[in-house]
Amino acid sequence: MGTLYIVATPIGNLEDITLRALRVLKEADAILCEDTRVTNVLLKRHAIHKPLISYHQHSTLQRVQEILQYLREGKNLALVSDAGTPGISDPGNKLIEEVSKELPEVKIVPILGPCALTAIASVAGFSMDAFLFLGFPPTKKGRKTFFEKVAASEYSVVFYESPYRIIKSLEELNGILQDSAAAEKHSIVAGRELTKKFETIYRGTAAEVAKQLKREVPKGEFVIVVERGRG
Ligand code: SAM
């Protein structure tokens, strides 16, 4: 039986990859990846030449069966996502569930590394001993409930957002915080393009950060921490 390595890769800066991750990618028989173009940039930078197999959130059952067959044949596979740690708002969990169910003898090994969630937690400056991670806010229905959950949380909350919706999300969050008793006591930290050339860390209330982003026309990906209410 082969081994399935779940390999964290950079969230921007291509130097953010561990020696172990590079060794695993070099030694694997094949690399499962979301977008071959994205993964090829990383592999090229580190002079790694490996067959790539596409595996993403819309992959068919047939693709999963092919992957299971490789593992049965003793092939060692490395799963990467476009950025960061697979399984964190990224494909991986479904495959791992199948592998652990169908081939319990296969070792599933985490190869640690970057993650936007832990990156922002490390610079938040809030108590992050316990926090709630909610992934992306819904894009259509359920947004109000999502931000109410954020505002009501007894823990600091981390969520992800795209540049297209960041201002809208911060304004909606601000509106809900305004209605809550702890409104004055909340502050947020938003990380934009972490580890990249235009990395920016914004601190303030949701309204203040939204106002600043409006002036700048936000580009790049965002990760946000909302400090838990101190009330
Ligand atoms: N698996 C990834 C991880 O470990 O962080 C997350 C994948 S999720 C599809 C992509 C989202 O993560 C982006 O929309 C953004 O919210 C956040 N993200 C990824 N890279 C980031 C970066 N360099 N700076 C800020 N946020 C980032």
Ligand 1 centroid to Cα of residue 73, in Å, is: 34
More confident residue, 185 or 91: 91
Q: Which top CATH class is 116-226?
A: alpha beta
Instruction: Please give the Cα distance from 88 to 81 (Å, whole number).
Output: 10
Measure 79 CA to ligand 1 centroid, in angstroms. 17
Any ligand 1 atom below 6 A from CB of 131: no
Q: Which of 13, 160, 193, 194 to mutate to test the pocket of ligand 1 (most atoms within 8 A of CB)?
A: 160
Of the pLDDT bands very low, low, confident and very high (cuts 50, 70, 90), residue 149 is very high
Cα–Cα dist 69/111, whole Å: 22
Q: Looking at the CA of residue 117, tell me the nearest atom of ligand 1.
A: 5
pLDDT (0 to 100) of residue 183: 53
Of 230 and 99, more confident: 99
Neighbours of 186 (CB within 10 A): 22
**CATH code for the domain defined by 3-111:** 3.40.1010.10
Per-residue pLDDT tens digits for 103-145: 999 999 999 999 999 999 999 999 899 999 999 999 999 999 9
CA of 111 to the centre of ligand 1 (A): 18
String of DSSP letters for 68-97: HHHHHTT--EEE--SSB-TTSSSTTHHHHH
CB of 227 sitting under 6 A from ligand 1? no
Pocket test for ligand 1, best of 16, 42, 89 (most atoms within 8 A of CB): 89
The residue contributing the CA closest to ligand 1 atom 16 is: 160
| Confidence band for 56, pLDDT divided at 50, 70 and 90 | very high
- Identity of residue 196: K
Cβ neighbours of residue 84 closer than 8 Å, sequence gap 6 or more = 8, 9, 10, 11, 90, 113, 114, 115, 116
CB atoms within 10 A of CB 29: 16
Whether 17 lines ligand 1, by a CB cut-off of 6 Å, is no
Ranges for all domains in the chain classified under CATH 3.40.1010.10: 3-111
Query: Is residue 231 very low, low, confident or very high in pLDDT (cuts 50, 70, 90)?
Result: very low
Task: Give the model confidence (pLDDT) of 155-187 as tens digits.
Answer: 999 999 999 999 999 999 999 988 775 556 689
CB 14 within 8 A of CB 45: yes
pLDDT at position 148 = 95
Residues linked to residue 78 through DSSP beta bridges, in sequence order: 5, 31
Most confident range, picked from 33-37, 58-62, 178-182: 33-37
Q: Is the pLDDT of residue 82 over 60?
A: yes
Q: Which regions of the chain carry the CATH code 3.30.950.10?
A: 116-226
